[in-house]
Structure 1
Amino acid sequence: MSLPRARFDQFRLAMMLLTRLPVGRISGAVPAMDKARWAFPLVGLVIGGIGWGVFAAAVTFGLSSVIAAILALLATALATGGMHFDGLADFADGWGGGSDRARTLEIMRDSRIGSYGVLALILFSALLAAGISEVASATAFLLAGVGSRLAMLLALVFMPPARADGLGRMAAGKGEASLIAGTLVCAVLVILAGTTGAFALIGAGLAMIVIGHSATRRIGGQTGDVLGAIQLASETAIWIFLATSAH
């Protein structure tokens, strides 16, 4: 298989893993998850583009920026199947109800959402909608989409898996080269966004570090739920930093 074809199949696998968008079937051997993870940040370009398209259309039809932001958030959640929201909820429940590693992992695996998870979903959704309504632009949506998934990829590269199964195990492993594509795209977006974009990425990094450090101490590494929490917390941090820098 040629390198361009292999890269395209890896990108399609990344789309299948992180979204519910149709990308066709992969003919032949399916790439390994750890080979496709380089494309995770690029998936953010697609999701960010969807968010911006819905927001711009809503504003064009005369809706307020707040309503447009909520609709954009809904569109991106539907496009991803809400998987990062689910990860955040499970992470919050595990941290709120788990007293040790085993109990925390048990709660996080439970598909039911508890009070901590509900509270986290409400708070983060409100922060996202507020931030989007303040500073929405095509560049901001793309930066939030790519930057938050680059934070998730960083966790995959530098954090050990806490379970013997799941996405966190199958896509984990050393390999800094997988960060190149996402880093380059973020660099371009920061140039377009200016200083505020750089501060926003710092905010995403801080969110990743806080959650990653907490997960390493509590359960020994990352899981799919931890990755989902990192993505959504990083995205929220980006919007908050962009909104703060705009004032």
Structure 2
Amino acid sequence: MASSPLPPVLSRRLNEVHLAIVFLTRLPWVRADWSHPLMSAAWAFPLAGVLLGLACGAVAGAALAAGAAPLLAAALAVGAATLFTGCLHEDGVGDTADGIGSGRDRARSLEILRDSRIGTYGVVAVVMTLGIRVAALTQLLQAAGPWWAGALPAWVLAAALGRGAGPLFTRLCDPARGDGVGAGAGRPDGAGVAVALALPLLGGLLLGAGRDQGAATLLGLLAALGPLVWLAGLARRRLGGYTGDVIGAAILIVECTALALLAAVWA
């Protein structure tokens, strides 16, 4: 990355934002200095989620404005999300479901995680994550007021929390192996994890308060972290820790859970 006229601290923080966006999205015009470990940017992961929520929420709004029904608008928005992220997290969900669901020993389960082919468990898991998001967004578009006041902020919060939960996941268990994306990403420090979680939780409290649902919104987002803890325990027992795929699965599972809970609370 070319030298920046910004002060060193600001330049480093900006690069961390770029690292998070480049890794978690497919935006072609963002560049980052990869001489720094990915998890040095842990605090900025939710910002990539905010971009995802804004972009795909706008797709839903545009579809509604063009006359699409809420279900079709939600499906188009979720389809846009897979393009926006390059199916990064869907790939992680599929591989994780196949590896852990195989019932094989640790070594064979890790081999399955690296296999590019997808099995029955993986197909079902990916379809479920797509269906949950479409259903939750449809409910929000139908019952939570204008799309920009309901579905849009809900997806921003869910996507931000999911990505903010990724660094937390790497603190709950160790890498399953010494190579690969998971191990190469490094381990985030406590401050980075705290900021990554605090940003979406504080945002949820403020946005929820604007709907007179601040406490319920915050509790819903906190509850969405429950599956993360469950998956971390499962990964420790079955795989010996996490891989890059398992981190991706954790991110998407938290996003789906948060979106579903926000739909229940807000709609």
User: TM-score range with shorter-chain normalisation?
Assistant: over 0.9
Task: Indicate yes or no: 2:224 matched with 1:204.
Answer: yes
Aligned in 2, Cα 1:150/1:190: closer, same or farther, shift over 3 Å?
A: same
Structure 2 residue runs without a partner (length 5+):
1-6, 142-150, 209-213
Q: Which residue of 1 aligns with 2:206?
A: 191
The one-character-per-residue Cα deviations of 1:160-197 (angstroms, maximum 9, x if unpaired) are: 11121222112232511102432332112322122342
Query: Is the CA contact 2:129–2:256 (under 8 Å) kept in the aligned structure 1?
Result: yes
Task: Indicate yes or no: 2:124 matched with 1:119.
Answer: yes
CA distance in 1 between partners of 2:261 and 2:19 (Å): 31
Q: Which residue of 2 aligns with 1:160?
A: 174
Q: How far is the alpha carbon of 1:216 from its aligned partner?
A: 1.0
CA distance in 2 between partners of 1:218 and 1:34 (Å): 24
Q: SS of 2:64's equivalent?
A: helix
Q: How far is the alpha carbon of 1:144 from its aligned partner?
A: 0.7
CA distance in 2 between partners of 1:32 and 1:174 (Å): 9
Letter in 2 for 1:12: H
Aligned in 2, Cα 1:196/1:138: closer, same or farther, shift over 3 Å?
A: farther
Letter in 2 for 1:7: R
The one-character-per-residue Cα deviations of 1:201-237 (angstroms, maximum 9, x if unpaired) are: 1232111011111111111111111111111111111
Q: How far is the alpha carbon of 1:238 from its aligned partner?
A: 0.8
Query: Is the CA contact 2:22–2:30 (under 8 Å) kept in the aligned structure 1?
Result: no
The one-character-per-residue Cα deviations of 1:90-148 (angstroms, maximum 9, x if unpaired) are: 01111222411111101011011111111111122111100111125221011011111
Q: Which residue of 1 aligns with 2:87?
A: 82
Query: Is the CA contact 1:201–1:238 (under 8 Å) kept in the aligned structure 2?
Result: yes
TM-score if structure 2 supplies the norm length?
0.86
Letter in 2 for 1:94: G
Task: Indicate yes or no: 2:265 matched with 1:245.
Answer: yes
Superposition pairs for residues 3-152 of structure 1, below 5 Å?
Answer: 3-26=9-32, 30-136=35-141, 137-152=151-166
Structure 1 residue runs without a partner (length 5+):
none
CA distance in 1 between partners of 2:76 and 2:188 (Å): 38
Letter in 2 for 1:207: P
Q: SS of 1:111's equivalent?
A: coil
Superposition pairs for residues 170-181 of structure 1, below 5 Å?
Answer: 170-173=184-187, 175-181=189-195
How many residues align? The count is 246
TM-score if structure 1 supplies the norm length?
0.93
CA distance in 2 between partners of 1:26 and 1:107 (Å): 31
CA distance in 2 between partners of 1:214 and 1:88 (Å): 14
Q: How far is the alpha carbon of 1:40 from its aligned partner?
A: 1.3
